[in-house]
């Protein structure tokens, strides 16, 4: 029999962590994080990391283990996730990989290209060029050096166009040349794929409730501590929703209510991007939802067993 891996994805605030704990109890699983912001030590609240109570209910891996001072790539995540998957199987446990970062799941299902690490200097230079040119002119510039990007990456996909540019700048090869021969390390595994397909009105309600909860749990203090680190602006933790908004509130530029509303808006936009990613990259996943958590668990168990 092939070894089993369960993948559990979904947009932010869709209830992944709760379902993961329920599944782990029923199926003898250990939970492995696949959220690019929940890896950082400094952001337990703003990244909605599982709390102390949740951590006691099931064994969790790759949560809050790395400093925000460090750049952390999907390749580095995959290397650590492989170790945790092997660790689970040796203990006769099922690895349950949970999160909202589509790229991390892609490294499991499709593999990852062996692109060399991009240094901070190259990355910062690309970000600066993007800001100076604007997305349309930046895209035109990218097509001149890497024509293979045309019709494969949209000009409005800021993250991927910058990635393509920095890869070419660093290696002299197209991103698509690097990924051409990529394949998954888990071809012979029994991979069960679940995506929480929560209706939009439910999701918006959850997002608002979670934002309020973050403020009750002192997310402002979290940002104050982060600001003291005075980190390079190119590091990905600066992109975490709430960091800039709370910084503006601390500096007296916006009110607390405006701060919360901006966080809600940005979170809704992020959830929309996650759903768009799922439509494009997770077509063969099992899309499940029920407002009743026990019904959702039954549906998930049917897929996972």
Residues 250, 142 share a domain: no
Residues 158, 25 share a domain: no
Residue 261 — very low, low, confident or very high, per pLDDT cuts 50/70/90? very high
Asked whether residue 236 carries a pLDDT value surpassing 90, the answer given is no
CA–CA distance, 249 with 189 (Å, rounded to integer): 48
State which of 163, 179, 195 marks the end of a domain: 179
What confidence tens digit (pLDDT) does each residue in 272-286 have?
999 999 999 999 999
pLDDT at 95: 98
Residues 161, 134 share a domain: yes
Lowest mean pLDDT: which of 6-10, 70-74, 164-168, 286-290?
70-74
Residues 282, 150 share a domain: no
pLDDT at 17: 96
Asked whether residue 183 carries a pLDDT value surpassing 90, the answer given is no
**Percent over 90 (pLDDT), the chain:** 86
- Tell me the average pLDDT across 52-72: 94
- Tell me the average pLDDT across 246-256: 98
Residue 232 — very low, low, confident or very high, per pLDDT cuts 50/70/90? confident
pLDDT at 1: 58
Residues 223, 136 share a domain: no
Residues 291, 267 share a domain: yes
Alpha-carbon Rg of the chain, whole angstroms?
Answer: 20
Query: Could you tell me the two tokens for 197?
Result: 């397909």
Q: Say which CATH number the domain at 131 has.
A: 1.10.20.140
Residue 192 — very low, low, confident or very high, per pLDDT cuts 50/70/90? very high
Residues 48, 102 share a domain: yes
pLDDT at 114: 79
Asked whether residue 181 carries a pLDDT value surpassing 80, the answer given is no
Provide the domain count of the chain: 2
pLDDT at 40: 97
CA–CA distance, 135 with 141 (Å, rounded to integer): 10
Residues 35, 174 share a domain: no
Residues 170, 67 share a domain: no
- Tell me the average pLDDT across 290-297: 97
Asked whether residue 85 carries a pLDDT value surpassing 90, the answer given is yes
Alpha helices in the chain (DSSP H): 16-27, 52-57, 74-90, 102-109, 120-145, 158-171, 175-179, 200-216, 219-229, 243-250, 256-281, 293-304
Residues 103, 8 share a domain: yes
Full domain range(s) for residue 134:
120-179
Asked whether residue 2 carries a pLDDT value surpassing 70, the answer given is yes
pLDDT at 168: 96
Q: Say which CATH number the domain at 38 has.
A: 3.40.50.300
Query: Could you tell me the two tokens for 251?
Result: 């500096």
Give the residue with greater pLDDT, 179 vs 174. 174
**Percent over 70 (pLDDT), the chain:** 100
Residue-by-residue DSSP string for 23-44: HHHHHTEEEEE--TTTTBTT-S
Residues 196, 72 share a domain: yes
Which of 3-12, 67-76, 112-121: highest mean pLDDT? 3-12
Residues 22, 41 share a domain: yes
**Residue 113 burial (CB < 10 Å; 0-12/13-18/19+)?**
middle
- Tell me the average pLDDT across 219-237: 92
User: Which residues share a beta bridge with 98?
Assistant: 8, 33
């Amino acid at each position: 029999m092939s070894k089993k891996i369960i993948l559990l994805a979904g947009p932010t605030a869709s209830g992944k962590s709760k379902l993961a704990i329920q599944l782990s109890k029923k199926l003898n699983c250990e939970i492995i994080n696949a959220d690019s912001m929940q890896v950082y030590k400094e952001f337990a609240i703003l990244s909605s990391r599982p709390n102390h109570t949740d951590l006691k209910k099931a064994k969790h891996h790759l949560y809050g283990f790395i400093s925000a001072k460090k750049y952390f790539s999907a390749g580095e995540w995959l290397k650590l996730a492989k170790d945790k998957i092997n660790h689970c199987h040796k203990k006769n446990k099922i690895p349950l990989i949970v999160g909202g970062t589509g790229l991390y799941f892609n490294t499991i299902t499709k593999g990852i290209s062996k692109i060399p690490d991009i240094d901070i200097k190259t990355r910062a230079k690309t970000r600066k060029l993007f800001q100076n040119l604007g997305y349309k002119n930046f895209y035109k510039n990218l097509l001149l050096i890497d024509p293979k990007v045309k019709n494969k990456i949209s000009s409005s996909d800021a993250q991927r166009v910058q990635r393509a540019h920095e890869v070419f700048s660093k290696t002299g090869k197209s991103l698509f040349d690097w990924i051409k021969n990529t394949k998954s390390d888990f071809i012979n595994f029994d991979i069960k794929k679940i995506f929480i397909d929560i209706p939009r009105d439910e999701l918006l309600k959850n997002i608002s409730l979670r934002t309020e909860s973050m403020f009750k749990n002192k997310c402002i203090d979290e940002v104050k501590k982060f600001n003291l680190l005075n980190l390079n602006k190119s590091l990905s933790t600066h992109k975490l929703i709430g960091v800039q908004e709370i910084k503006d509130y601390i500096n007296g530029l916006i009110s607390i209510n405006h701060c919360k509303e901006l966080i809600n808006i940005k979170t809704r936009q992020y959830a929309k991007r996650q759903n768009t990613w799922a439509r494009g990259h997770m077509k063969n996943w099992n899309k499940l939802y029920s407002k009743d958590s026990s019904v959702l668990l039954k549906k998930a168990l049917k897929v996972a067993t």
